């Protein structure tokens, strides 16, 4: 297990003004790592003026401290250091894009295999469970408070699928254990940060499952939600999390495709696999990326065309691996 030995303290030396930003449509790891970093710095380095930038999240992370300090727009300039967390590509940065580029120093803390190393320094550990795990390794253990631990634990829980994805390692569990020793309320974090869904989220999940179809001899499952359905149920793009994972759990399936319309004939595609399909490779053909077992991309065309384009690559991989 590759761990980083780069320490955050080295980057904070001489810094008066710090910016922190994550990716668009923030998920649990994005929120956990951004807020974990924000809380750690504000608690241990009170003299540094620290700003954290994120898009509004519909998910319930109210139990994480200082969520009210998150800025949705950027008004400050002249940052000594800007840190991007859980962000694979500059194009996906939320809120802070231009100011990040203008900062004196930039640092990228991430775990995406597709990371483009856009920071001046890049701490990227592709086999880590989460950006929150990479962040943890950069911090001094005895300076991690209960509040910081809560944020980091949330990020790890979210991106490891509650400690079950392949990226979960002995090291991940050791970190989780150390965070538990800070008294984090792990039951609430797992319920509210991962499993809890709003009523409309459950409705759209139900709809997606009902309309799903099996393809490639039952090795692949597919479902899509179009714009008019999203309007009908009153769901927004950041409420679509978890659907692809439920599809993936279908018996006999190796790979799940879930997509929803983000503009007319333009789809946000999510891919998840169990053992065989390299999702990062499939998404990569279409300009996207992510991880081997979880990746995404954006594709234009009719629903039918988009699925067929994806299936060509998925079928090829399943055949190469002798599964079809």
Min separation Cβ 159 and Mn ion, Å: 4
Of 50 and 154, the one with the shorter C-beta distance to Mn ion is 154
Q: Is 133 in the site for Mn ion (CB under 5 A)?
A: no
Q: Quickly count: other Cβ atoms within 10 Å of residue 120's Cβ.
A: 13
Distance CA 179, CA 158 (A): 15
Stretch that binds Mn ion, among 14-22, 81-89, 271-279, 307-315 (CB under 5 A): 81-89
Size of residue set near Mn ion by CB under 5 A: 5
Angle ∠(161,165,171) on CA atoms, nearest 5: 100
Of 59 and 86, the one with the shorter C-beta distance to Mn ion is 86
Of 85 and 95, the one with the shorter C-beta distance to Mn ion is 85
Give the chain's length: 324
Q: Is 131 in the site for Mn ion (CB under 5 A)?
A: yes
Distance CA 215, CA 259 (A): 15
Residues 22-41 that bind Mn ion (CB under 5 A): 29
Q: Which of 137, 147, 159, 315 binds Mn ion (CB under 5 A)?
A: 159
Angle ∠(32,33,37) on CA atoms, nearest 5: 115
| Residue with smallest beta-carbon separation from Mn ion | 29
Min separation Cβ 36 and Mn ion, Å: 12
Angle ∠(30,139,57) on CA atoms, nearest 5: 15
Of 88 and 212, the one with the shorter C-beta distance to Mn ion is 88
Q: Is 254 in the site for Mn ion (CB under 5 A)?
A: no
Region of residue 117 (phi > 0: left; psi between -120 and 50: alpha; otherwise: beta): left
The helix or strand, by DSSP H or E, that contains position 222, with its residue range, turns out to be: strand 220-225
Under the rule (CB under 5 A), what is the footprint of Mn ion? 29, 86, 130-131, 159
């Amino acid at each position: 297990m590759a761990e980083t030995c780069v320490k955050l303290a080295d980057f904070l030396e001489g810094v008066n003004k710090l910016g922190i930003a994550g990716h668009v449509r923030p998920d649990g790891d994005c929120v956990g790592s951004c807020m974990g970093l924000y809380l750690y710095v504000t608690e241990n380095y009170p003299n540094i003026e620290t700003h954290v930038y994120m898009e509004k999240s519909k998910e319930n992370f109210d139990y994480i401290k200082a969520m009210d300090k998150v800025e949705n727009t950027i008004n400050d300039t002249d940052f000594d250091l800007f840190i991007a967390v859980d962000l694979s590509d500059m194009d996906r940065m939320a809120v802070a894009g231009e100011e990040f580029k203008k900062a004196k120093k930039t640092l990228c803390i991430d775990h995406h295999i597709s990371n483009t190393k856009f920071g001046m320094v890049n701490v990227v550990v592709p086999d880590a469970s989460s950006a929150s795990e990479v962040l943890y390794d950069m911090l001094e253990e005895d300076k991690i408070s209960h509040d910081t631990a809560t944020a980091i634990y949330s990020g790890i829980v979210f991106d490891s699928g509650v400690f079950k994805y392949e990226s979960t390692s002995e090291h991940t569990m050791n970190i989780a254990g150390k965070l538990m020793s800070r008294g984090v309320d792990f039951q609430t974090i797992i319920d509210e940060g991962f499993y809890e869904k709003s009523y409309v989220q459950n409705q759209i999940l139900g709809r997606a499952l009902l309309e799903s179809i099996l393809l490639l001899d039952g090795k692949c499952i597919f479902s899509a939600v179009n714009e008019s359905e999203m309007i009908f149920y009153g769901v927004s793009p950041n409420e679509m999390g978890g659907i692809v994972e439920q599809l993936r759990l279908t018996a006999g399936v190796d790979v799940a495709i879930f997509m929803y319309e983000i503009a007319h004939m333009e789809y946000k595609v999510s891919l998840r696999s169990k053992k065989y399909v390299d999702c990062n490779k499939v998404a990569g053909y279409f300009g996207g990326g992510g991880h081997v077992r979880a990746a995404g991309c954006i594709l234009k065309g009719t629903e039918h065309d988009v699925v067929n384009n994806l299936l060509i690559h998925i079928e090829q991989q399943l055949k190469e691996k002798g599964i079809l």
